[in-house]
Amino acid sequence: VEMENHTRISEFILVGFKSHPGSQLFLSVLFSTMYIVTVVGNICMILIIRMDSNLHTPMYFFLQNLSTLDICYSSVITPRAALAFLLGRRSISYNSCASQMFFFSLFGTTEAFFLAVMAYDRFTAICNPLLYQVIMNRRLCVLMVMGSYLSGCINCTIQTGFTFSLSFCGRREINHFFCEVAAVIHASCSDTFVNELIMLAVCGSIIVGTALVVFISYGYIIITIVQMPSVESRHKAFSTCSSHMVTICLFFGTVFFMYAQPGAVSSPSKSNTISVFYTIVIPMLNPFIYTLRNREVKRSLKKQLKR
């Protein structure tokens, strides 16, 4: 009987936002529009950086990689969700669900490390300007990007492996619009205490660790900016950091609420709306934040448009 009850199911049903049947078409159009804006905006950011030799610096190297990551991050979730809302086909196979969770965790974790790396880059540029070119050499920048992806791989392997080692019995419904870790754990019929503990420990340590790097870096940056003699130098230093600070607040604020607190799995219904922010809205906003609040990018964009 126990073996029969723990038979592996072949598919899940994603029921996130299903309680509003009249809004399915609206959600499909909204998700599709945001995805198109995300892809176009981030591709434009990549092209601007590639085409302007003045932007071939460590800061924009990381920003270019962040734009590529945002396209991949959004592509894992948004197209499938938009299609599900439009056609009403909410089923997802067991293997597809595992794959979606794997890549979502990979790109999400990598983004957290990217933001920490970018904060360290700004710390070095503002607090140690004379040694900046020596410290932030090409080799270190590449190693930081590779290290971020490696950290993402480790986390997504742990999360996906432990989650799909659970039994799901006859419960096929996942209270989310994609295969998010906490929602899939909640759908299991196994004892999920260990999984919840692992998710809290691993995700919490990653979020808190990367956030500490960010906040310590910006603590030193703010102290250094305040001590600068001229208003112009203070304004210039702050303008290079303000866009990154906005992105950090948006990303870490929503992700911390989702994964770095006890009880994150206990009420997955609240995570549907919040998840839209860090999976769809933030990757869409990043190109605009970095373009509108960055003099060099705006100058380069104007130059490219004149051409």
| pLDDT of the residue at 111 | 93
Count of positions (residues) in the chain? 307
Judge whether residue 170 has pLDDT over 80.
Answer: no
Q: Which pLDDT score is estimated for 307?
A: 76
More confident residue, 114 or 238: 114
12: which strand partners?
92
CA distance 85 to 259: 26
Helices (H), 52-93: 58-87
| Most trustworthy range by pLDDT among 136-145, 179-188, 195-204 | 136-145
Question: DSSP state, 8?
Answer: P
Supply the mean pLDDT for the chain: 86
User: Taking residues 280-288, what's their average pLDDT?
Assistant: 90
Give the domains, in start order, of the chain with CATH numbers.
Answer: 12-299 (1.20.1070.10)
> Hey, is 91 helix, strand or coil?
strand
Please write the tens of the pLDDT for every residue from 231-240.
887 877 777 7
Tokens of 238: 């702050």
Please give the C-alpha separations between residue 38 and each of 20, 35, 94, 162, in angstroms, as whole numbers.
25, 5, 28, 31
Q: How confident is the model at residue 200 (pLDDT cuts 50, 70, 90)?
A: confident
Dump pLDDT digits (tens) for 67-101: 999 999 999 999 999 999 888 888 999 999 999 99
3-class SS at 173? strand
For residue range 218-260, list pLDDT tens digits in order. 999 989 988 888 888 787 777 778 778 888 888 888 877 776 5
For residue 221, give both structure tokens.
Answer: 């940056």
State the pLDDT at residue 112.
93
Instruction: Give the residue-averaged pLDDT of 12-32.
Output: 84
Please report, for residues 206, 237, 251, the alpha-carbon distance to residue 209 in angstroms, rounded to integers and kept in the order given: 5, 25, 14
Percent of the chain at pLDDT above 70? 91
pLDDT score at 199: 86
pLDDT at 252: 85
Structural element, H or E, at residue 144: helix 138-163
